[in-house]
Structure formats: structure tokens, C-alpha cells
Amino acid sequence: MKAAAEKFDNLTVLQLDAHSDLRQVYEGSRFNHACAMARAREYAPLVQVGIRSMAAEEVPQADHRRIFFAHELYYDKTLYERAAGLLSENVYVTIDLDVFDPSVMPSTGTPEPGGPDYYELMHFLRDVAMKRNIVGFDVVELCPMPSGKYPEFVAAKVIYQFLSYIFSRPS
Ligand SMILES: [Mn+2]
């Protein structure tokens, strides 16, 4: 994200995640996974989508015009358009797989109930890829379980499908 912010003007970081990850410091480190978006925001403005878990100390850190909670998205799908509308032309997308409901993606370190399903989230990613220039993305937090491998296929398909959306954008 730092490199993308150096290379591209007018960059926004779009975070899809169950967790806001806005702690300044966690367990003695500024670079703990719980601090990832506090660090990202030092380089580019953030839009956060699918959030449903925050520590009390993170609430005042959040920009409440730019955070879209899962329980609000569940009842009002037009909020996805509003989130997309906040993005600048260049967008870096960080996808924490725990953004999905655990019924879709159970293999994460910190699953949280109440997230969007596969079609809902991929529809949003397609919309973003059609309207904006995606300069990079990451997919994190896959934590495979011995009991079944379908979540690994979900993760692979998210990457494959998002790449297809990005490269099919009309020029
Ligand atoms: Mn997360």
C-alpha cells in the first residue's frame, strides 16, 4: 500500500474485512495485524466495508462516513454503491477473507458471523473494478482447516474472479 501510494496519485485503500484493524498499537507492536489499517491510513484514505468487530478504543479512530458495517449492508444494499462512490480513481483493495460470512469462508483465524455471501461481495468487487482503476490487491487470512478444502477453493476463486473483473474493464 505504501508503494502504491508512492506510485499513484489519488489513491484510496478499500478494505473488505470483518475487523476494522485501526488500533494504533497491539501487543506491543505498531505492525500487529490489528493495526494494519491504522498504518495504511498513513499513506492513503480508507474505505472500510463489511466491518462487524471493533474494540472500543477503535471507535473514535474510525471515520464514520467511510466505514460500512455488515449489519447495515445486510439491510440496505444501496450502501455498497455509496461505498464505491467514495473511492478515488486509483484503488488498492485489501481483502481479508473473514469479511465473508463464515458459512462461505470458515477457514480464517478470527471468523465473525454476519458477513456478506459470495455473490454479494463479488458483485461489489465487480462494480468497483468496472468503475475504478485497481492498482493492486491482496487476499489475506486464509487459515486452512484439516476438515475440508472448499475454503481454499473459495479463496482461489475470489482471486481469479477479481482478476477477471479487473482485466475486463472497458478501456
Ligand atoms: Mn479481519
**pLDDT tens track, the chain, 171 positions:** 999 999 999 999 999 999 999 999 999 999 999 999 999 999 999 999 999 999 999 999 999 999 999 999 999 999 999 999 999 999 999 999 999 999 999 999 999 999 999 999 999 999 999 999 999 999 999 999 988 899 999 999 999 999 999 999 877
> What is the distance in A from the centroid of ligand 1 to the CA of 97?
7
Largest CA distance in the chain: 46
Whole-number Å distance between alpha carbons of 35 and 24: 6
Instruction: Please name the amino acid found at residue 88.
Output: S
Pick from 47, 31, 28: nearest CA to 39: 31
Whole-number Å distance between alpha carbons of 113 and 52: 8
> How does DSSP classify residue 109?
S
> What is the distance in A from the centroid of ligand 1 to the CA of 170?
32
> What is the distance in A from the centroid of ligand 1 to the CA of 129?
22
> What is the distance in A from the centroid of ligand 1 to the CA of 143?
12
According to CATH, what is the number of the domain 2-167?
Answer: 3.40.800.10
> What is the distance in A from the centroid of ligand 1 to the CA of 102?
12
* Contact indicator for 45, 66 with CB cutoff of 8 Å: yes
> What is the distance in A from the centroid of ligand 1 to the CA of 18?
5
Instruction: Write out the three cell numbers for 124.
Output: 461489489
